[in-house]
Structures are given as structure tokens and as C-alpha cells.
Amino acid sequence: MVEIRWHGRGGQGAVTSVEMLALAAIEEGKFAQGFPSFGPERRGAPVVAFNRIDNKQIKVRSGIYKPDVVVVLDPSLIGLVNVTDGLKDDGILVVNTTKSPDEVKKEMKFPGLVATVDAAKIAREELGVPITNTTMLGAVMKATHLVKMESAESPLKERFGRLAPRNIKAMARAYDELKIAKAA
């Protein structure tokens, strides 16, 4: 089972990303969970959401405390929130940033795999807004190889309707533009 924790801000689409990844995994015949952690969040406040993906039924119904993957939709959260808390040493950290994976790896002192993409730039260029949910979805798919991009197309079409082609393009660009620094 792979457990993923997503860090974002209210209104950036972390919860939508979690839902789309879970639906893409289900599209492939896998078992998946996607759920947010809600408190008194409001637009702009830090939010956390989670995924579990496995090839067999998932019976766990608790929060995720030792994720295999951490995804950061908003780089301003680094330092504000301990985004690597509990992340396994051999885990994967995927960050929306203009920095290189090596810069983030050094800054975060994280020994695992670090992947970066300028998801905000891609979102602005493809969607006209800096909402990074579908861009980061593409980045996570490439960094983890958990699901194929094609498996996300149907859920994105259902969710975004006429805006789906732009979201699919943003997802594909992030997949292609992801930079990875291997684990130490």
C-alpha cells in the first residue's frame, strides 16, 4: 500500500487532486482512498489531504502518519508547516517550486527522492489561474508511477467538463516537466 499526504492551501485544489488520483487508481482496477483532513480551514489557510492506493482491498480507516509520498502544492508552506513530518526516509517529496530538486533536497535535508515542477507557472499558462491541482496530479503520477496519466482523463473530464482538455494538458505538461533528484 502506498500512502500519500498532500499539503496545500484552501482553494488550491488539494482535495480535488486527492479525489482525481483515487478515481484514476480505481479506473485501473486498484483500490484507493482519498480524504481530506478538515478543521477550521478557509481559503488560503493550510490544508492537508490524503490518498491510499493498493492492489488489494484497503481496510485501514485512520489518518496517515508515515506517508510514502508527500506532495506540496504551495512552496510557501515549507517552513510554515513541517511537510516532511513522518515521511519515510526512502519516500518521495514532490514540490511545486521554481527550485531544482537538488536545492530542495539540500534545504529540506531529506534523504529520499525529491521531485520538483513549476506547477504554478504551468497552471497560469494552461488554465489562466495558479490553481495547481491538476498540474501536481501529473507530477505525482510521474514521480510515483502509481497510475497512468490516461487513467486520470475520464475523472478529469467528468469533474471539469468543458475545461477538462486544458486541465489534461496542464497535467501532461507537469508530468513532462518534472525534475527528479534521486535518493541519497
DSSP-assigned letter for residue 7: E
Q: What is the pTM of this model?
A: 0.93
> What string of pLDDT tens digits covers the 184 residues of the chain?
999 999 998 877 888 999 999 999 999 999 999 998 765 556 667 889 999 999 999 999 888 999 999 999 999 999 888 999 999 999 999 999 999 999 999 999 999 999 999 999 999 999 999 889 999 999 999 999 999 999 999 999 999 999 999 999 999 999 999 999 876 6
∠ at Cα 126 (123, 127), nearest 5°? 70
Return the C-alpha cell found at 84. 516532511
In the chain, where are the structural domains located? Answer: 2-181
Does residue 89 contact residue 41 with C-beta atoms inside 8 Å?
A: no
Domain 2-181 has CATH 3.30.450.40: no
